[in-house]
Amino acid sequence: MGNQQLFTSKGTSLYGTVIISYQNQFLSGFYDWDDVDGIWLSILQAMYDCLNTGIGNCGFSERFMDWQMKKLIEKNPAILFIWYHGFASKEWNDIPKKSTLRFPENVLLNSLIEKGTKFLRFRNALYDSGPSKNINQLINDLKSFNSDLGHVQLE
């Protein structure tokens, strides 16, 4: 998962843009820039629910985005992450309508904590902190799972 705080497109820089991708597979894109707070809250909540109950469902209805995380019980615990992007179309050819990714649990958890903390610092520096209190609480809640899993980062 990636948090890109500066995105340049055709000479225009936008601060706070988030592009979610893994190994060059894009789940969100430039056109989702105005939904960054809702996306972060929903992904963090889905991960928290997944770690607590084995499944986490969330979405962002304004953009027709939904995601599901399922805990896979294996020798090395993993999370199956399914992402639906309702606005993906021919114009957005770098974003599929549905993506299914399998992450090692500790890699996804550590990445969400790390990148979420970076985003939170950036968001708190703005005059309007928006939902940063909720983002901060979810990051802290996810850290409680971290002690059991070890620390590994996504590429």
The pLDDT tens digits for 99-112 are: 888 999 999 999 99
Percent of the chain with pLDDT over 90: 24
Strand residue runs (E) in 49-120:
55-60, 65-72, 78-85, 98-104
Buried b (16+ CB within 10 A) or exposed e, 36-57: bbbbbbbbbbbbbebbeeeebe
Q: Domain for residue 131, yes or no?
A: yes
Q: Domain for residue 57, yes or no?
A: yes
- Structural domain of 45: 35-84+98-148
Q: Domain for residue 21, yes or no?
A: no
Q: Domain for residue 15, yes or no?
A: no
The rounded distance, in Å, linking the Cα atoms of 115 and 125 is: 16
Is residue 12 within 8 Å of residue 5, measured between CB atoms? no
The pLDDT tens digits for 30-71 are: 666 667 778 888 889 999 999 999 999 987 666 677 889 999
Total Cβ atoms within 10 A of residue 25: 14
Q: Domain for residue 61, yes or no?
A: yes
Among 30, 28, 5, smallest CA distance to 15 is for 5
Q: Domain for residue 122, yes or no?
A: yes
96 alpha carbon, distance to own chain's centre: 16
* DSSP structure class, residue 21: E
Q: Domain for residue 115, yes or no?
A: yes
Total count of domains within the chain: 1
Taking all residues of the chain, what is their mean pLDDT, rounded to a whole number? 75
The pair of structure tokens assigned to 148 is: 């059991």
Q: How are beta strands 55-60 and 65-72 bridged, if at all? A: antiparallel
Q: Domain for residue 16, yes or no?
A: no
Query: pTM (2 decimals)?
Result: 0.69
